[in-house]
Amino acid sequence: MKIADYSVTRAILERHGFTFKKSFGQNFLTDTNILQKIVDTAELDKEVNVIEIGPGIGALTEFLAENAAEVMAFEIDDRLVPILADTLRDFDNVTVINEDILKADLQAHIQNFKNPELPIKVVANLPYYITTPILMHLIESKIPFSEFVVMMQKEVADRISAQPNTKAYGSLSIAVQYYMTAKVAFVVPRTVFVPAPNVDSAILKMVRRSEPLVAVKDEDFFFKVARLSFVHRRKTLWNNLTGTFGKSEEVKERLTRALEQADIKPSVRGEALSIADFARLSDALLALGFA
């Protein structure tokens, strides 16, 4: 019997008197078939180390430990640490760290893997309330994670993997796809969790690119231009740009020149622009003093 079997999960929760905290976004998966699909999607073997975030009572951790070299699991809720010590007692390749992943010194921690030279993958059921900050924190860190296979709210997975000219496409799509390829692997129904969330989830697979998708002169400014282009989704690119940079004749003249140089019409909306378009636009704006 696996930890994720419903009867086992209930027994563990009752034995430890555990109650769910909404503030931690706790939803425990009780479907072993889905856990196996997650591991299969991540293509784990004993030559890969894994970082997990929010292991809960260890349902996914158990599958990871069976398939990966080592697992380092970050759990913010200290009430779960003794439960994990119980449920994962048979595994000597799991380390549970009672820290907030956003505050942990990851560079220092990964040196504690028995073989820190192995590729590192992030495989996790991310807390809904803080999915995007965790993902961006990890992607933008200097740690060369080779892949992410993570569960999140389906709507967020759709936004991250979205292509131009779709409703879901936006600055989050650009921020992630600049660094990673992103594809929804499969959908997870809300009914397989305890307690059941209000929405369905999805497994998103992201693979790090060997180099960013586009070359830009200033990454921070590139991301800023992408964000401000979606401030008001229904407004044109021109209206969003002038809303940020100003509407003086001098500013409008420079904006017109930048758009001409980037070969972008001012009447388009942000959602119509590819990541390459945003790269040309941000470089043109930068050259004309808009940083």
29 is in an annotated binding site: yes
198 is in an annotated binding site: no
211 is in an annotated binding site: no
54 is in an annotated binding site: yes
How far is 286 from 291, CA to CA, in rounded Å?
5
155 is in an annotated binding site: no
17 is in an annotated binding site: no
As annotated, the binding site for S-adenosyl-L-methionine includes: 27, 29, 54, 75, 100, 125
Give the residue numbers of the binding site: 27, 29, 54, 75, 100, 125
